[in-house]
């Protein structure tokens, strides 16, 4: 049995639990392109020769680039922030303010990991002025993911990390590439929208455009595209030209109390080259 690898970041909507199913649908190829890399669970649990991993969230990509360049220095410095003194609301909000005020890329990368592990429920959210605004998470002892960081750093030797839009990432595709898209999901209700990962929403127009882009590129440049999303009437409509649709039931991971996690429909739409 192949060992599965967890991401070092907590991430609402992360794909660790679905990585086996997604990998079975992804075809073989030399290179995997992920325009919405998030915490990177598919990258960590797949086996391509090379990867182009992008996200519109500049802080996320900055963190990955730094871990790729100097993993041990980063791990040693990041570990120093994981203390009982820093696991208090006052310290958390002080460091969150420092993060929002800092323009130092290395310091921001350290604080991004700290905020991710100490903030509420694995959310990554910004306000309209670009300020990180996730509240304190109140965990007894936040886990420092040293093992996961080491594995990520080793595997990152195969990857290029870049902050750009999904259309820009699609433009990189060449014949034989495989593209996996995990966009912010279509909300199941008007009050369940967690789309502000990078400070700007991913609305229904963008959802439809992503489906169009997948259809275009699978035909034009012989790349296969797989998209995951909620299973709704809307997503079934926008993915109606996909070559294959798979629907599965998955447990929500955004609820803080495990007992409150209901199973919801997840859709995988495959556009073949």
Among 107, 198, 113, which residue's Cα sits nearest to residue 149? 113
Distance separating the N- and C-terminal Cα atoms of the chain? 30
Residues 162 and 263 in one domain: yes
d(CA 57, CA 181): 15
Residues 30 and 103 in one domain: no
Helix axes 58-69, 71-79, angle to 10 degrees: 110
From 90, 112, 147, the end of a domain falls on 147
Residues 129 and 240 in one domain: no
The residue segments making up the domain with residue 266 are: 19-58+157-271
pTM, two decimals, is: 0.91
- Give the single-character DSSP code of 136: B
Strands 50-54 and 31-34 turn out to be parallel
Instruction: Pick 12 or 239 by higher pLDDT.
Output: 239
- Give the strand order in the sheet containing 263-271: 159-162, 50-54, 31-34, 178-181, 224-230, 263-271, 244-251
Residues 169 and 225 in one domain: yes
**Residue 1: inside a domain:** no
Question: Residue 225 forms beta bridges with which residues?
Answer: 179, 271
**Residue 4: inside a domain:** no
Q: What is the pLDDT of residues 169-214, one digit of tens each?
A: 999 999 999 999 999 988 876 544 444 444 457 888 999 999 999 9
From 124, 147, 170, the end of a domain falls on 147
The CATH number linked to 200 is 3.40.50.150
- What element of type H or E holds 267? strand 263-271
Residues 173 and 255 in one domain: yes
Q: What is the pLDDT of residues 140-180, one digit of tens each?
A: 999 999 999 999 999 999 999 999 999 999 999 999 999 99
From 95, 118, 147, the end of a domain falls on 147
d(CA 184, CA 13): 8
Quote the number of domains for the chain: 2
Residues 130 and 177 in one domain: no
């Amino acid at each position: 049995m192949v060992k599965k690898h967890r991401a070092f970041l907590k991430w609402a909507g992360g794909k660790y639990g679905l990585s086996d199913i997604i990998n079975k649908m992804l075809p073989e190829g030399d290179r995997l392109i992920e325009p919405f890399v998030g915490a990177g669970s598919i990258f960590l649990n797949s086996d391509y020769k090379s990867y182009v991993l992008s996200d519109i969230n500049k802080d996320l990509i900055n963190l990955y680039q730094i871990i790729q360049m100097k993993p041990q220095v980063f791990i040693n410095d990041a570990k120093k922030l994981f203390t009982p003194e820093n696991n208090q609301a006052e310290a958390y909000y002080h460091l969150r303010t420092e993060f929002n005020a800092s323009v130092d890329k290395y310091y921001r990368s350290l604080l991004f990991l700290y905020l991710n592990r100490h903030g509420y429920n694995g959310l990554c959210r910004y306000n309209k002025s670009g300020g990180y605004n996730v509240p304190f998470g109140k965990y007894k002892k936040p886990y420092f993911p040293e093992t996961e960081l080491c594995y990520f750093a080793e595997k990152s030797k195969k990857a290029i990390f870049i902050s750009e839009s999904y259309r820009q990432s699609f433009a990189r595709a060449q014949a034989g590439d495989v593209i996996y898209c995990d966009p912010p999901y279509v909300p199941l209700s008007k009050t369940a929208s967690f789309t502000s990962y990078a400070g700007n929403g991913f609305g229904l127009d963008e959802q439809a455009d992503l489906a169009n882009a997948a259809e275009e590129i699978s035909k034009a440049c012989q790349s296969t595209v797989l998209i995951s999303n909620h299973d709704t009437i809307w997503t079934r409509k926008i993915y109606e030209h996909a070559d294959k649709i798979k629907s599965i039931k998955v447990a929500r991971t955004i609820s803080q109390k495990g007992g409150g996690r209901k199973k919801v429909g997840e859709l995988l739409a495959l556009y073949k080259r």
